[in-house]
C-alpha cells in the first residue's frame, strides 16, 4: 500500500502544477492531523516542550502546519528526479555556509553533517551533491523493497551515496577518510541504545553515532537545517553551526558533543517550530530534567 501510494504521489506531482500539488498537500496534512489521533497526540506533547508559553490552541495550529509542511516536503521529494542541477542550486541559499564548509574540509578529515527531520533536508542534500561535494547519507531500509529502491534511487539520482543503516559499519569511516561528507539524522529516539542529553529542558535519548564518528576520525561536525522560506515555493535557506570535536574521556565527549549538537538544533526549531516533523513522542512520558554541567 505504501509503495502504490507513493507511486501515485509521484505521478500526480509530476503532472500537476506546483501550486496545485501544494494545495493538495495542505489538504492531506490538515486531514491527517484530524484523522490520525496517535500522531496528533504525539505532536501536541512534543510542542508542549518546544512552545511552553503557548496555549493548547496555538500548539495545535503549529502541529497542523508541521504536518502540512511535511506533505509539501513529500511533494518536493516526488518532483526531485525531474529537477536539473541548476534548479537544485537555485532552490538552496547559503553561500556563507558552503564557504565555511570548504574551510572545514581543508583539514582533509571530511565532515559529519547532522540533520533532523526538518524543513527539506533532501533538497539541501541534493544541492550539496550538485555543488560537487562527495556526499554519503545514512538511511533506513523500508520493509517493501520496491518502496526502498524508489526512495533510495531518487537520492542516488541526486548524486548521493546511500548507506543503509543496518549495513553501515566501516562505510561511514571510509566516507570521511576520503574527505567527503557523511549526513545522518539524529532526532530518532533510541531508548537504551543512545546517549541521554537535555533537549528543550528535558532528557531525551538520541543516537550517539554522529558524536562517536566525529571523535573517532577528528572530522568536524556540521549541524545543518534547511527550512522553507515560502509556503508556496520549494526554496530553502541553509542554517549551519560548525563544531570541532573535543578530546578526552570518550563517554564524556560523546555526551558533551551530542549535547552541543542538540542545542544547535534546538535553536533552529525555536526559529521554525512548524518545520520540525516529529510525529511520535520525542520525550519519555515522564520526562525529567538533567543537571547542567555549566
Average pLDDT of the chain is 91
Q: What is the pTM of this model?
A: 0.91
Q: Under a CB-based contact definition with an 8 Å cutoff, are residues 82 and 158 in contact?
A: no
**How confident is the model at residue 294, as a pLDDT?**
34
134-148, 227-241, 273-287: least confidently modelled range: 273-287
pLDDT in tens, 163-191: 988 777 889 999 999 999 999 999 987 77
Contacts of 74 (CB under 8 A, 6+ apart): 9, 25
Give the start-to-end residue ranges of the domains of the chain. Answer: 2-275
Angle ∠(197,273,93) on CA atoms, nearest 5: 100
For 96-126, the pLDDT digits (tens) are 999 999 999 999 999 999 999 999 999 999 9
Cα 134 to chain centroid, rounded: 18
Would you say 21 and 71 are in contact if contact means Cβ atoms under 8 Å apart? no
pLDDT per residue as tens digits for the range 43-81:
999 999 999 999 999 999 999 999 999 999 999 999 987
CA distance 132 to 127: 9
Amino acid at each position: 500500500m505504501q509503495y502504490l501510494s507513493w507511486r501515485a504521489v509521484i505521478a500526480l506531482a509530476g503532472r500537476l502544477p506546483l501550486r496545485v500539488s501544494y494545495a493538495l498537500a495542505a489538504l492531506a496534512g490538515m486531514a491527517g492531523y484530524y484523522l490520525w489521533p496517535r500522531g496528533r497526540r504525539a505532536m501536541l506533547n512534543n510542542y508542549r516542550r518546544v512552545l511552553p508559553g503557548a496555549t493548547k490552541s496555538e500548539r495545535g495550529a503549529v502541529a497542523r502546519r508541521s504536518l502540512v509542511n511535511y506533505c509539501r516536503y513529500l511533494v518536493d521529494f516526488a518532483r526531485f528526479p525531474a529537477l536539473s542541477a541548476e534548479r537544485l542550486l537555485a532552490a538552496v541559499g547559503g553561500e556563507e555556509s558552503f564557504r565555511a564548509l570548504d574551510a572545514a574540509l581543508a583539514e582533509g578529515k571530511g565532515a559529519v553533517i547532522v540533520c533532523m527531520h526538518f524543513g527539506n533536508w533532501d533538497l539541501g542534500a541534493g544541492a550539496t551533491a550538485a555543488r560537487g561535494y562527495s556526499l554519503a547519507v545514512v538511511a533506513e531500509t523500508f520493509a517493501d523493497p520496491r518502496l526502498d529502491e524508489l526512495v533510495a534511487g531518487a537520492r542516488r539520482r541526486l548524486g548521493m551515496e546511500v548507506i543503509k543503516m543496518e549495513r553501515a559499519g566501516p562505510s561511514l569511516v571510509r566516507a570521511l577518510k576520503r574527505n567527503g561528507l557523511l549526513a545522518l539524522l539524529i532526532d530518532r529516539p533510541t531508548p537504551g541504545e543512545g546517549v541521554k542529553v537535555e533537549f528543550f529542558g528535558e532528557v531525551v535519548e538520541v543516537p550517539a553515532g554522529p558524536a562517536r564518528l566525529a571523535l573517532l576520525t577528528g572530522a568536524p561536525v556540521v549541524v545543518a537545517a534547511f527550512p522553507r522560506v515560502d509556503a508556496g515555493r520549494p526554496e530553502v535557506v541553509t542554517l549551519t553551526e560548525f563544531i570541532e570535536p573535543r578530546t578526552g574521556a570518550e563517554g564524556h565527549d560523546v555526551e558533551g558533543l551530542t549535547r552541543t549538537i542538540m542545542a544547535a538544533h534546538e535553536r533552529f526549531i525555536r526559529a521554525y517550530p512548524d518545520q520540525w516533523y516529529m510525529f511520535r513522542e520525542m520525550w519519555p512520558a515522564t520526562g525529567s530534567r538533567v543537571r547542567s554541567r555549566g
